[in-house]
Amino acid sequence: MLEFAGPHDIARRTFAAVDAAVGVGREFGLTVTDAVVLHDVFSVVVHLAPSPVVARVPVVLPHYTDLGSLARRQQAELEVTRWLADQGTPVIPPSPLAPRKPVRRDGFSMTFWQFVEEDRDEQPDYVANCEIVPDLHAAMRPYPGRLSFLSAAEPRFVEESLALLGKHPDLIAPADLDRALREWRVLKPLVRSRAAFEEAFPGIELQPIHGDCPPANIFSGVAGNLYADFELATLGPVEWDLAALGPDCEAAYNRGAQRNGMRMLNEDVLRFVNAVGMLRAIASLALVPQLPSLVEYLMPAVDQWRSTPFAGGVGD
């Protein structure tokens, strides 16, 4: 059985991450007198005040993740974001006051970003945000770096998490897990193989994409909106960035795509990415022991998934 983190465990984890970030920041020569935690969910995000630097320290991770594999993913994010910033794309860039590479300390791997003041009066408008995602896709299309095919789908995470959930019936009912495993057998070949995807969806261009729901990762800065959090940047169909957002968001994306002279979203690919996105939500139940509050966000997705066609209708 998995052990669940309690409030004191989470508080200790947060304190340790902040302490590590402050220590690294001071080693860089930054003045840090008032470290402020901005977010504390999957990562501890801490402003190393008064320096204009934010450290992001991942703390909720799949059980198999080591610092080496995490650092490789972080380095890819830094490279994508720095390139976009150099092209004039509105992103939160890496900090120029710290090395543009992941830094390890006390069992953590962290990255450092430019502090941007948030407009706290601005409420997220996901439909409006979806309309500017094609602008990001247009900007990312010529990115020259190497990205893996659909790594954002995290097939190892899905597979190993579903296996782990088999030992934890308090997190998922056996019937639900059985369906998830059968769906994964249908979807896995298209996730793991670019050739299989291209055979199933001929003519669908693959390009660099954000990978982690960009409409939910647009930061409302006082000087304007900025794209943020490219941790799962990947090579894939643009539909991946709209997974599970629904028809209003899809219509908004299509308006933005038309403005950019880009293709509309493909319904068959949407069914595929929505089905994979749902399975990733199911698999994320395996992270609940590390972050118990996650369950309240995941259960509505599980309920929605039960009402959807098997594997999103892929293969029918």
* pLDDT of amino acid 241: 98
Q: Is the pLDDT of residue 1 over 60?
A: no
Final residue in a domain of this structure, among 114, 135, 169? 114
How large is the angle between the packed helices 295-306 and 267-283, nearest 10 degrees? 130
Q: 């010529």: which residue's tokens?
A: 142
* pLDDT of amino acid 315: 72
* pLDDT of amino acid 109: 98
| Distance between CA atoms of residues 285 and 291, nearest Å | 10
* Strand pairing class (103-105; 43-50): unpaired
Q: Do 106 and 130 fall into the same domain?
A: no
pLDDT band at 316 (very low <50, low <70, confident <90, very high): low
Mean pLDDT of 102-113: 98
Q: What is the mean pLDDT of the chain?
A: 96
* pLDDT of amino acid 121: 85
> Can you give the CATH number for the domain in which 218 is found?
3.90.1200.10
**CA torsion 300→302→305→307, rounded to 10°?**
-70
Mean pLDDT of 42-54: 98
Flag whether 194 is in a domain: yes
| Distance between CA atoms of residues 29 and 98, nearest Å | 9
| Distance between CA atoms of residues 190 and 201, nearest Å | 10
pLDDT band at 120 (very low <50, low <70, confident <90, very high): confident
Q: Do 148 and 197 fall into the same domain?
A: yes
> For residue range 94-107, what is the model confidence (pLDDT) as tens digits?
999 999 999 999 99
Q: Is the pLDDT of residue 2 over 70?
A: no
Q: Is the pLDDT of residue 225 over 60?
A: yes
Q: 């769906």: which residue's tokens?
A: 183
Q: Do 234 and 293 fall into the same domain?
A: yes
Q: Do 46 and 157 fall into the same domain?
A: no
Q: For 113, phi and psi rounded to 5 degrees?
A: -130, 155
pLDDT band at 151 (very low <50, low <70, confident <90, very high): very high
> For residue range 227-281, what is the model confidence (pLDDT) as tens digits?
999 999 999 999 999 999 999 999 999 999 999 999 999 999 999 999 999 999 9
Angle at 30 between CA 26 and CA 33, to 5 degrees: 80
Q: Do 241 and 291 fall into the same domain?
A: yes
Helices (H), 6-102: 7-27, 67-86
Beta strands in the chain (DSSP E): 32-40, 43-50, 53-58, 103-105, 108-114, 207-209, 218-221, 224-227, 234-236
Give the range of the structural domain holding residue 27, as residue numbers without chain letter. Answer: 7-114
If one counts the domains in the chain, the total is 2
Distance spanning both ends of the chain, measured CA to CA: 37
> For residue range 78-95, what is the model confidence (pLDDT) as tens digits?
999 999 999 999 999 999
